[in-house]
Structure 1
Amino acid sequence: MKRLLAALLATGFFSGAGWAQEGGVWLQVEALPTLNRAENRARAYAGRFDAVSGYALGSGWYGIALGPYDPAEAQRLLGELKAAGAVPGDAFVADGAQYRSRFWPVGARGDAPGRAPVVAETATAPATPLPEGAGPGATSPEAPAPAPRVETLAEARASERDLDQAAREEVQVALRWAGVYDAGIDGAFGTGTRAAMAAWQRQNDHEETGVLTSTQRAALINAYDAVLDGLDLAVVTDDQAGIEIVMPTALVARGEAQPPLVRYDASGEEAVRVLLISQPGDARRLAGLYEILQTLELVPPEGARGLDTNRFVIEGADDSRVTHVEAALIDGAIKGFALVWPANDDSRRARVLSEMTASFKALPGVLERGKVPADEAQAIDLVSGLQIRTPLRERAGVFVDARGIVATTTEAVSGCGDVAIDGQLGATLMMQDAASGLALLRPATPLAPRGVATFQTGVPRIDDKIAVAGFPYGGALSVAATTFGRLADIRGLGGEEDLKRLDLNAQPGDAGGPVLDMGGAVLGLLLPGDRQSGRVLPSGVALALESEVVLTALEAAGVEAKRTEARIEETVQAVARRAGEMTALVSCWE
C-alpha cells in the first residue's frame, strides 16, 4: 500500500456494551462465524494496519474493525481503502453499538472501547518511522511499554455482565473442553460454572476468584480454538447432494458421488473422511439406510446408535477410527453426513464434529440413482463404492423352536467376538460340545422363524433321497439353498452310531444346516468337511450329526423340540421350501 494507516488504540479499561463514544466510529472490514477464523483474519490485517481490533458481535459472529476514527475521516478512509482493494467491498462505517467482548489483540483488556478520546492520523500523513529492526507494536528503549494492569474482581464482573448468551455458552463449552466442567451448556454462571472457572484459574496459575477476567476468557477461548489450526475449516456447498456444511478442507477433497453418498476422501496422510448423505425417502427408507450404513467397514460395530421416525444417529469406534453418522428426513429427502476421524484425537474430532453439526444445512436438490451414471466398480459387497464389513465366516443353522433358538456346529461359532442369527447380532451360546460338534444359540431378542424343525426319530433307509439346506454363497442369498443327494450309510466312516454318511456335494456354508428326508423331517445336522480329526473328506462325501444327539442336547437345555416317526414323500419343491423356512444364517464376527 502507498500509505500506512496509523491510529492510537484506547489504553484504559473499557466499560459497557453499546459503547459508541463521542464522535468515534470504526471501519468494520469483516465478520466471521467462528473465533478461530476471525483471529486468523485479524492477524492478517494487523500485518498491514496498526489500528486493528476484534469484537464479538453476538449470535456466534465476530467482527474485525479498524479505528476508532473521526466520522468524516472514517468515510474518506473507507473510500480510499475500497478503491485500493485493501478492504472488502462490503466494509462499512460502524458506530460500535453492536460490539461486545474483545478478542483482538490477543490479551487485550476490557469488553468494548469506552470514553477514551479519539486520536487518529489521516491516511495522507506519513507514518512515524520505526527504529531499525522494530516491528508493529515495538517500543523504543526511551519509552518502555507499561506493564499491563490486571482487572480487579469488580471490573471482571462488570465485563462478564456484558457477555451475551452465545458468549456465555462459549465460555462453558471451552471450560468443558478444558476438562474442568461437566454440567449443561446453558449460559448460566452458577456454582458449577464458578467452580470450573476457579479450577481453570488454579491450573493456569491465576488467583482463584471464580470469575474470569477479559484476558483470562480470551486465553481460554484461544486454547479452545487452537486445536482447529491447520484444518482450514470452511463452508462447503455441494449442489449435487443439496447440502451446505463446514468441513476440514485441509484434510479432505471431494471424491465420487454414488447414491446415496458423496465421498470426501482423505487428501493427505491423516485418515479423515466425510460422507454426505442425500437421497429421496420416507421413514421406511430412512430405517433401511440406518441398517445399511452399519454394515460399512468404516463404521465400527461398537458404539451407541438410535433410530426414530425421522432421524438416526450412529456412533462407532475401534482402535483405528471413530465414526459419527447422522441423517434426518427433511422435506421428503434424507439428508445427513458422516465424519470418520482417527482414534485417539478426541479434541480435534469433537471440535470439528461440533462445527459440522452446527453448520449443516439442507439445500434444494438430492442425489438420485438414475441421474448418476453407473461405473465398472460396482460390486455386491460395496455400498456407494465403500466396502461393506464382512463376517469371519457364514454358516447355517436350524431353528428348533418358535423363539428362534438355533442348533448349529461349534465350527460356526469358534473364535467369534459376536454371532448373528439372520443378521441380528448379539446371539448367546447356550451350549457347545466339542466331542459331537454341536452348539446351541439363543438370539439377542426373540425371533419369529417362518419354520421350525421337526426331528425324525425313525430309522431311515440307506440310499434314501435326502436334502441339505445351507448358505453355500454366504449371505449373498437371503434364503437358504437346498442341495439334494442320498443317504450313503446310517453310520459314520468309522462305524460311529451318532453319525450318518451322505453322498452329497456340500459347501462350507452348508455346515450346520439341516439334513432332511423327503418328508421335510430333520435327520440331523451337516458337519464341516474336516470333522474327522482335521482330515478333509473326499469330494461327494459328507457327514451328518444324528438327530437323537441334537434332541438330547435340546432336552438338557430345556428346549422342547418337535418329533415324528412318520415317513412321507413330498415333492422336491415342497422339501426345498420347508428347508428354507427352518434354516438360519449364522454369521461369525470379530
Structure 2
Amino acid sequence: MSRAVAAFILFVSIFSTSAAQAQQSYWVQVEANATLREAEAAARRYSQAIADVNGFRLGQSGWYAVALGPYTETGATETLLELRGRGLLPGDAYVSDSTAYGQQFWPVGANALGAAPMAVEPAAPEPAEASQELAETAPEPAPEPDPLQAPEETRQEALRSEQTLDFDQRKELQVALQWEGYYRSMIDGAFGPGTRGAMSAWQEANGFEITGVLTTRQRALLLKGYYDVLDSMGLASVTDAEAGIEITLPAAMVGFSRYEAPFAHYEGDEGVRVILISQRGDRATLYGLYDILQTLEVVPVEGERRRRDSDFTIEGANDELISYTYATLADGAVKGFMLIWPQGDAVTDPETGETTREIDRRRAMVLDAMRSSFTSTGAAVLDDNAGLDTTTQSIDLISGLEIRRAEKARSGVYVSAQGAVLTTTEAVAGCGRITLDESYDATVAATDDTIGIALLRPTRQLAPMRVAELLTFEPRLQSELAVAGYSYGGRLSSPTLTYGKLADVRGLAGEDTIARLDIRAQDGDTGGPVLDQGGAVVGMLLASLTGGERLLPADVGFAAKSATLADFLAANGVTASLTETQGALTPYDLSALAADITVLVSCWE
C-alpha cells in the first residue's frame, strides 16, 4: 500500500461544495481508474511533470479520477489544449465540472474542491524533445540513494535537507509522529513548536541527539516504522455486493469467510474479526438488533452504549477482546459493521505492581478508516436465508455468533414489590456480576451462611407481576409440593414445575429451620420457591449437599422453611407477604403463578 493512500485512509475528510461553486470550477480530467492504488500511482506520475494534479473519488461508482485544477472554464480549456499539445496528457482527457467528484485522496489532506478557480497564463512551449507520452508510459525515475543508509547530519544540514520537503512530505512526517504518539496537534505541514517538540521526543526515545530537527536518516526510519505497520494491515476498500455495503477493511488481516444472515463474516489468523450487518427492516428492527447484539460474547458488557432514532453504537471490552458495533437505517434497511479486536498482552510494572494491557494502535487506525468509509451502496441487502444451508444451528448461536452465557444459572423468588429476591448463597458465591432474568443487575444485600440463603436487591427498582406469599404454618407430612425453578439454566423462557412430597419437617440432623423433601430437582432449581397446591410458598429449595463421606440419594432435597425465610427478611428490612390460605389450583394456574414470582438468577465472572 502506498504512503499517500495509507495517509488518506487515516485522515480522510469529506468535503462538500455548493451548486454555485460547482458551476464556477472546471477541471481537466486526465484519466479514471478502477482502484485507489492505480489512481494514486497515476496522480504521482502526472505530478512529476504537471502542476495542480488532484485525485477524487467518483461518487458511488467505485472509480477514482485524476484531474487538474480548479480553473475557470476558459483556463481549463487552455490547459487541456496546451498540455495535450506537449504530449503530457492522453488524447481522451477532457474538461469537466466537479459534479461527480467526491472525497479527495490526492494530495493528502487537500481540499481543492473548496478552492477558488484560477485563470491560466499560456506557458511557453517546451522543446519538442522534452515532450513525453505520459499517458502511455511513465518515465523511470533515476535511482536514488537509500535514505536509511544516509550519513548522520548536523542540525544545520538536517534543516537544509528538511527545506527540500514539499507540503505533503511535511504532513506525512506529522502523521507518522502522531502514529508514534508524540504529536497531538493538527496535520498542517507547519513545523512549529508542537512538531519540533514531537521530533525531540522521538529522538530521545530512539537514542538520537535531541535537536528538534530530524535528519534524512531519522526521517526515513520514522516513516519506515509507520508504513511497515500500514502494510501489515493492508487497508483497502471492499465492496460487498450481497450486503450492499462498501467499507475499508484491513485486508491483510481478514478475508471473507461466510454469510449467515444478517451478518457477513470476515475473519483472519490474528483474532481480528469484522462482521458486516445487512438486514431488511425499519426502526423497530434496528432497536431489536440493538438488544440482541448485547447478548453476544463478542459484545462485552462493560462499555458505552448509545441508541438514537436512526442508529446506534455499542462499545465493549473485557480481558480477551475489545469490540465496536455501529448500525444505521440506510436505503430501507439496517446496515452496519462490527470490529472485534483481541486485547493486548498484560504487562505488570515491576515497581508499582500495576497491570495494564498493551494497546494495539492499529485498531484505532482501522476503526477510523472503517467509520469514515462505511457507506450503503443501495437497496441491496442480505437475503433472510443467506448462508442457511451451510450454517451450524445451535441454541447457543445467533447467525454464527456465540451468545453470552452465565457461569452459573440458578433460581430465586420475588419477595417485595420493589423487586427484592431470595435465593441461595451458593447461587451468588464468587460472582463478579449478578443479574435477574439476564437483564437487571443486582447486588447481595444480606446472607445467612448457616442456612445458605441470600437476599438480593436490584440496582434499579423493579415491579414484579406478583410477590411470594409465605405460608404461616407447616403443611402436612407427605403433602404434595412443587418446586418452581429454571431447571435448565435459563434455556427455557419460563420456570418449570418439579413435583415432590414433604418427607420431614426437619433436617436430617433435626434442624427445625429446614424441611426435607422427596423430590428430584436440578441444580438450576436451587433458590426456587417450594409451593403447595394452592400456590402458597412453604419454603425455598436449598443447594444440594456436597462433600463429606456420605452421598445422599438423588431424590433427597432440602428447603428453608417459610417461617425461616420470613424471619430472615424481617431482620433485613423486608416485610414478607404472608398467607394462611390453603387451596387447590389447576396445574395451569399454578404454573402461571410460579412464572410470576420465580426469577432467573445468573452469576457472571
TM-score, L = length of structure 2 = 0.71
In the alignment, structure 1 residue 549 sits paired with structure 2 residue 549:
no
Q: Of residues 359, 363, 368 in structure 1, which corresponds to 2:383?
A: 368
Given candidates 515, 518, 521, the residue that maps to 1:503 is: 518
User: CA contact under 8 A between 1:277 and 1:336: conserved in structure 2?
Assistant: yes
Q: 2:267 aligns with which of 236, 261, 265?
A: 265
Match of 1:17 in 2: none
- Provide the residue aligned with 1:359 in structure 2: 373
1:348 aligns with 2:362: yes
Give the gaps of 5 or more residues in structure 1: 1-24, 83-89, 104-113, 125-129
| Deviations 1:507-539, CA, capped at 9 Å, x for gaps | 111011000111211111101222685855312
Which of residues 76, 99, 103 is equivalent to 2:87? 76
1:6 is matched with: none
Deviates more, 1:412-421 or 1:196-205: 196-205
Question: Matches of residues 473-512 of structure 1 in structure 2 within 5 Å?
Answer: 473-512=488-527
Contact 1:262 1:275 in 2 (8 A): yes
Which residue identity does 2:275 align to in structure 1?
L
Distance 1:588 1:340, change over 3 A: same
State the match for 1:203 in structure 2: 201
Q: Kindly state the Cα deviation for residue 414 of structure 1 after the two structures are TM-superposed.
A: 1.4
C-alpha distance in 2 between matches for 1:137 and 1:93: 36
- Give the distance between the partners of 2:29 and 2:49, measured in 1 at CA: 10
Matched, 1:310 2:325: no
Aligned counterpart, 2:117? none
Report the equivalent of 2:580. Answer: 565
Q: Secondary structure at the match of 2:467?
A: coil
Partner of 1:3: none
SS of structure 1 residue aligned to 2:368: helix
| Residues 247 and 356 in structure 1, CA contact (< 8 A), matched pair in contact too | yes
2:399 alignment counterpart:
384
* Paired residues of 2:261 and 2:385 also in contact (CA < 8 A): no
User: Which piece of structure 1 moves more, 346-355 or 554-563?
Assistant: 554-563
Shift of 1:255: 1.7
Counterpart-to-counterpart distance in 2, 1:511 and 1:54 = 79
Residue 85 of structure 1 corresponds to: none
Matches within 5 A, 1:209-228: 227-228=229-230
Give a deviation string over 1:161-191, Cα, whole Å, max 9, x none.
Answer: xx9xxx98x99876654434667x7x8999x
Residue matched to 1:87: none
1:325-359 deviation line (CA, Å, top 9, x unaligned): 11112243111000112223531111011111111
Write the distance in 2 (CA, Å) between the matches of 1:101 and 1:117. Answer: 27
Cα gap change, 1:328/1:225 in structure 2, threshold over 3 Å: closer, same or farther?
farther
What's the counterpart of residue 18 of structure 1?
Answer: none
Alignment RMSD (CA, Å): 4.8
| Partner secondary structure for residue 545 of structure 1 | strand
Instruction: Determine the structure 1 residue equivalent to 2:254.
Output: 252
Q: 2-side partners of 1:52 and 1:545: how far apart?
A: 90
Give the C-alpha shift of residue 422 in structure 1: 0.7
Aligned pairs for 1:47-196 within 5 A: 51=48, 57=54, 71=82, 76=87, 78-79=89-90, 121-123=130-132, 136-137=143-144, 150=159, 177-180=179-182, 196=194
Name the SS for the 2:239 alignment partner.
strand
The 2-side partners of 1:63 and 1:149 are apart by 37
Aligned-residue offset at 1:93 = 10
Aligned to 1:470: 485
Distance change in 2, residues 1:320/1:551 (3 Å): same
Distance in structure 2 (CA, Å) of the matches to 1:265 and 1:297? 16
Q: Matches of 2:586 and 2:94 in 1, distance apart?
A: 87
Partner Cα separation in structure 2 for residue 305 and residue 502 of structure 1: 46
Alpha-carbon separation, structure 2, partners of 1:505 and 1:102: 72
Provide Cα deviations, 1:2-60, integer angstroms capped at 9, x if missing partner.
Answer: xxxxxxxxxxxxxxxxxxxxxxx9996778998xx6998489x88xx994899884889
Question: How far, CA to CA, are the matches of 1:456 and 1:532 in structure 2?
Answer: 32
Superimposed CA distance per residue, residues 541-564 of structure 1 (whole angstroms, 9 cap, x where no aligned partner): 211111222222212221122112
Describe the superposition over 1:111-162 as per-residue Cα deviations: whole angstroms up to 9, x where unpaired: xxx99997874459xxxxx9xxx961369xxxx9x99784799x89x987xx
Distance 1:376 1:218 in 2: 49
| 1:534–1:294 distance in 2 versus 1, CA, 3 Å | farther
CA distance, structure 2, for counterparts of residue 399 and residue 263 of structure 1: 42
CA contact (8 A) 1:468 1:526 kept: yes
AA aligned to 1:248 is P
SS at match of 1:390: coil
Q: Percent identity between the aligned chains? A: 40
Aligned match of 2:451: 436
Residue identity in the other structure for 1:301 = V
Change (3 A) 1:174 1:556: farther
CA distance 1:78–1:195, shift in 2 (3 Å):
closer
Q: Distance in 2 between matches of 1:544 and 1:388?
A: 33
In structure 2, the partner of 1:584 is 599
Alignment deviations for residues 441-462 of structure 1 (CA, whole Å, 9 cap, x no partner): 1112222211211111212111
1:15 aligned residue? none
Deviation of the 1:376 alpha carbon: 6.0
Summarize the alignment of residues 379-458 of structure 1 with structure 2, pairs less than 5 Å apart.
Answer: 379-458=394-473
1:312–1:454 distance in 2 versus 1, CA, 3 Å: same
Aligned counterpart in structure 1 of residue 236 of structure 2, from 223, 234, 237: 234
Deviations 1:75-123 (A, max 9, x none): 53555xx9xxxxxxx87899xxx998689xxxxxxxxxx9999787445
Match of 2:101 in 1: none
Hey, what does 2:349 align to over in structure 1? none
Task: Give 1:314 deviation, angstroms.
Answer: 1.4
Structure 2 CA distance for aligned equivalents of residues 349 and 54 of structure 1 = 36
Say if 1:116 and 1:391 are closer, same or farther in 2 by CA, change over 3 A: farther
Is residue 283–residue 309 contact of structure 2 (8 Å, CA) maintained in 1? Answer: yes
- Change in 2 beyond 3 A, CA 1:173/1:567: farther
Q: Give the TM-score, by structure 1 length.
A: 0.73
Judging changes above 3 Å, is the alpha-carbon distance between structure 1 residues 434 and 330 closer, same or farther for their aligned structure 2 residues? same
In 2, distance between residues paired with 1:559 and 1:386?
42
Of the structure 1 ranges 224-233 and 417-426, higher mean CA displacement relative to structure 2 is found in 224-233
Asked whether the equivalents of residues 80 and 93 of structure 2 are also in contact (C-alpha less than 8 Å), the reply is: no
1:573 deviates by: 2.0
The alignment of Structure 1 onto Structure 2 pairs a total of residues equal to: 511
Provide the C-alpha distance between the structure 1 equivalents of 2:262 and 2:105, rounded to a whole number of angstroms: 44
Change in Cα spacing, 1:446 to 1:331, as seen in structure 2 (3 Å) is farther
More moved, 557-566 vs 214-223? 214-223
Aligned mates of 1:449, 1:102 — CA distance in 2:
59
Q: Please state if 1:279 is matched with 2:279.
A: yes
Alignment deviations for residues 390-443 of structure 1 (CA, whole Å, 9 cap, x no partner): 111111000111111111011111121211101125321112222111111111
